[in-house]
Amino acid sequence: MEVKLWNDKREREMYENFAELYAIIKATEKLEKAYIRDVISPSDYEAECVKLIAHFKTLSSSLKDTVPSIESFVDKYKMDCRAALNRLVTSGVPATVEHRAAAAASNTTSAATVAECVQNFITAMDSLKLNMVAVDQVYPLLSDLSTALNKLSLLPPDFEGKTKMKEWLGRLSKMGAADELTEQQARQLHFDLESSYNSFMAALPSAGT
């Protein structure tokens, strides 16, 4: 006899999202342990961690009504994932970024601001993937990112991310709040964000310097 976990399409989608959330948390826990044990290189760890954090933020946001607390979700399904909770919920950035942020902080730069920039980059890129392309959706995200970037003294005035965000904000300010970016514009913005993010990460001092 077949036992169904759901009664309709909506319930089925909810349980599928639960399964995906569970998988993301478990994968993050394994990744954190692999990094701590030096089983994975810092660059590979960071690339995978950024993806997991982005997927987690997107999924947890869509599940906020059914899963108001990630900690409660972890308790309910008896998951021993303290490292994952720290990375996904408390920190929100890869450990490698935290290390570089700490190094930057010794040069009169706030580690919290570095983390804020990373989170703003990830949120903006992820929002475009979710087709959030209306001006009143995009502008606040780019504004927050621009503000965070301008707080960092280690970035020069002509830093790619600063100039590109300024250009985009100027472009969006001439449009109406309900106007939407075209597919080509959204693709270009995502490219500019990704390029600026890579330049930003490269500009951070290594933990050893």
CATH number at residue 38: 1.20.1440.200
Distance CA 19, CA 9 (A): 15
Would 1 be classed as within a structural domain?
Answer: no
CATH number for the domain spanning 116: value is 1.20.120.1130
Per the CB < 8 A criterion, the answer to whether 117 and 145 are in contact is yes
Residue reference for tokens 């998951």: 79
Q: Are residues 85 and 121 in the same domain?
A: no
Q: Are residues 113 and 194 in the same domain?
A: yes
| β-strand partners of 134 | 180
Query: What residues in the chain have per-residue pLDDT under 50?
Result: 108, 207-209
Distance CA 94, CA 35 (A): 10
Looking at residue 5, what is its pLDDT?
62
Distance set, CA 155 to CA 50, 93, 163, 193, 205 (Å): 22, 19, 11, 16, 11
Nearest alpha carbon to residue 96 among 50, 64, 63, 51: 50
Looking at residue 209, what is its pLDDT?
40
Domain count, the chain: 2
Helix (H, G, I), strand (E, B) or coil at 5: coil
Q: Are residues 60 and 135 in the same domain?
A: no
Q: Are residues 22 and 89 in the same domain?
A: yes
Looking at residue 102, what is its pLDDT?
67
Residue reference for tokens 């001439």: 174
Looking at residue 13, what is its pLDDT?
85
What global pTM score does this model have?
Answer: 0.59
Would 50 be classed as within a structural domain?
Answer: yes
Q: Are residues 85 and 117 in the same domain?
A: no
Looking at residue 2, what is its pLDDT?
55
Looking at residue 99, what is its pLDDT?
78
Q: Which domain holds residue 53?
A: 9-93
Per the CB < 8 A criterion, the answer to whether 142 and 168 are in contact is yes
Q: Are residues 155 and 117 in the same domain?
A: yes
pLDDT tens for 45-56 read 988 998 898 889
Q: Are residues 197 and 117 in the same domain?
A: yes
Cα torsion angle, 162, 168, 173, 176, sign: negative
Looking at residue 103, what is its pLDDT?
63
